[in-house]
Structure 1
Amino acid sequence: MPQEEWKYQFGRMTRARYPELQEVHLLDGDSLWPTNERDIKKSPWPRYAEQLAAEGITLLDHEGKSWRPRLTTRKHRG
């Protein structure tokens, strides 16, 4: 499916529209989750996962793995 279609479909997945939806499993055999900073910036999948997570929905790849956002540290004020 083209990326614009994924963007449209994931944008429609909200708690208001699907109150019982908890997980979306994608069965494609390719890995969705990028593994380095460069690929994270290029890939739409982490953004889709975070968008769904804001609705309380988990996006899972074909292996049942979800996106894990990297932790960020707060700047220490001295």
Structure 2
Amino acid sequence: MEELRTEVRADLARIYSFRQRMVSANEQPEDYEEEISALECMFEGFNMKISKYGHKKNEHVEPKVEIKVAESFVLA
């Protein structure tokens, strides 16, 4: 989860940087298209990771052996 958090922060920084470049209007429309495509890929990747995480979180692990407790143990 920490790895995903780090990726999100880095990609948010990329988005903020892109916004600043758009405001300054130094780039050509082709540059915008390239950056938008990269952002789309980034969010598709997040979607896949979140989906995987959700599946892992919802997985139910069955024990391999049944644990039976016949009597309680008291340590003195």
Give the TM-score normalised by structure 1.
0.29
Q: Which has the higher helix share?
A: 2
Which has the bigger relative contact order, CA under 8 A and spacing at least 6? 1
Q: Decide which structure has the larger Cα Rg and report it.
A: 2
| TM-score, length basis structure 2 | 0.30
